Amino acid sequence: MLSELLDHVPQLCEYLPSSSLSALSGTSSALRQKVHDYVTKVSGSMTDQDIAVLVRGLPDTYPQLTSLQLTIRGPAAISKFAHARLALLENLDLSKSKLTGPAVRILSQGRWPKLKTLNLAINRIANDGVSHLRTTEWPLLLSINLSNNRFEGSAIRILLCCKWPALQTLCLSNNKLDYDWGELPVSTRWPQLRELVVSRCHLSHQAARALSKPMWSHLETLDLCVNNLHDSAVRELVQAPWPLLKALSLSGNHLQRQGISFLVTGEWPLMEQMYLKKDLAAPALGQLSKAKWP
C-alpha cells in the first residue's frame, strides 16, 4: 500500500510547487478534496511500519511542510514522527489515533518550534499522558484540542503547569473533570488564553467557584454546556471579573429561574452571546432585559 501511495507522488507534486503539501491551499477546493480523499483512503490501510517509512521521509520530501493530518498508532511510527525534522510544522492533527500515555511521552519530545495548533482529540490519553505534556517546548502554541480522551479531575491541575505562553484556545470537552478544582494554582501560565471549552466534563459547583477566580479574567469565550451546574454555580460565576467575556454557554445544565436572576447581576460589558436550555429561554427574556450588558 505504501508503494501505491509513493507511485502517485509525481502526480501530487504536479499541484504542489516547491514540493510542499501546504501548497494545496493554492489549488481549487475540489482538487484539494480529491487529493485529501485519496491520501486518506490509502494511508488508512497502511501498516504501522509503512507509516514509519513514510514519516521518516517527510522532512526530505516536503521540507516546507507546515500542516499535517495523520492517523498514527504503532510505536515505530510515533517514534519516527516525534524525531522527524519538521522545523516549519505549524498545524498538527493526530486525532482518532488511539494514542495513550506512552505515545504522548514520545510525542512530547518533538521539537516543533513553530507549532501553533495541535489536535489530540478522540484518543485514549489519560492523566499519565497529560503529565508528559508538561515537558513540551512549544512557545508559539495557540490552540490545543484534548477533547474526548480519558482525563480525570486532576488533569486540569496538571495542564496548568504546561508552559504554553501563547495559548489562546483550550478544548477539554467530554472528559471527567469533576473534581480537584479546589486545588488549582492561583495563576496560570497561559496569560493569552481567550477560549475555554469544558462542555460535558461533569463539572459542578466546585469548578464554577474555581473559574470565578481572577486567573481566568482574560477569557472571551467560556463553554460550560452539559455539565452538572445548578443555580448556586451561577452565583459563583457572576462574581467572576470577566471584562473581556463575549460568549457564555450554559445550556444542558440544571439551571432554574433563580439562576437566571443571578445571571442578570453579572457585570460583563462586552457580552454578546449567551446560551441557555430551551425551556428557560422564554421566561429568561424578561429578566435578562435588566442585565448590565450593552
- pLDDT single digits (tens) 53-98: 666 666 777 778 888 888 776 667 788 778 777 888 899 999 998 8
**Per-residue model confidence (pLDDT) at position 48:** 63
Q: Which of 3-12, 80-89, 177-186, 260-269 has the lowest mean pLDDT?
A: 3-12
Residue 210 has pLDDT above 70, yes or no: yes
Mean pLDDT of 204-228: 92
> Residue 129's pLDDT band (boundaries 50, 70, 90)?
very high
- The grid coordinates of residue 130 equal 497529560
CB 250 within 8 A of CB 225: yes
**Per-residue model confidence (pLDDT) at position 53:** 65
Residue 166 has pLDDT above 90, yes or no: yes
pLDDT digits (tens, 9 = 90+) for 98-118: 899 999 998 888 888 999 999
* Residues in contact with 54: Cβ distance below 8 Å, sequence separation at least 6, in sequence order: 2, 5, 43, 46
**Per-residue model confidence (pLDDT) at position 90:** 92
Could you count the other beta carbons within 10 Å of the beta carbon of residue 180? 17
Mean pLDDT of 132-136: 90
In terms of Cβ atoms closer than 10 Å to its own Cβ (0-12, 13-18, 19+), residue 108 is middle
**Per-residue model confidence (pLDDT) at position 55:** 66
CB 197 within 8 A of CB 224: no
Residue 37 has pLDDT above 50, yes or no: no
- The grid coordinates of residue 196 equal 475555554
Q: Give the integer Cα–Cα distance in Å for 255 and 142.
A: 33
For 9-39, give one letter per residue: b (16+ CB within 10 A) or e.
Answer: eeeeeeebeeebbbbbeeeeeeeeeebeeeb
Q: pTM above the 0.95 mark?
A: no
Identity of the amino acid at 237: L
Q: What are the structural domains of the chain?
A: 1-66 (no CATH), 67-288 (3.80.10.10)
**Per-residue model confidence (pLDDT) at position 38:** 44
pLDDT digits (tens, 9 = 90+) for 225-272: 999 999 999 999 998 888 999 999 999 998 887 888 888 888 888 999
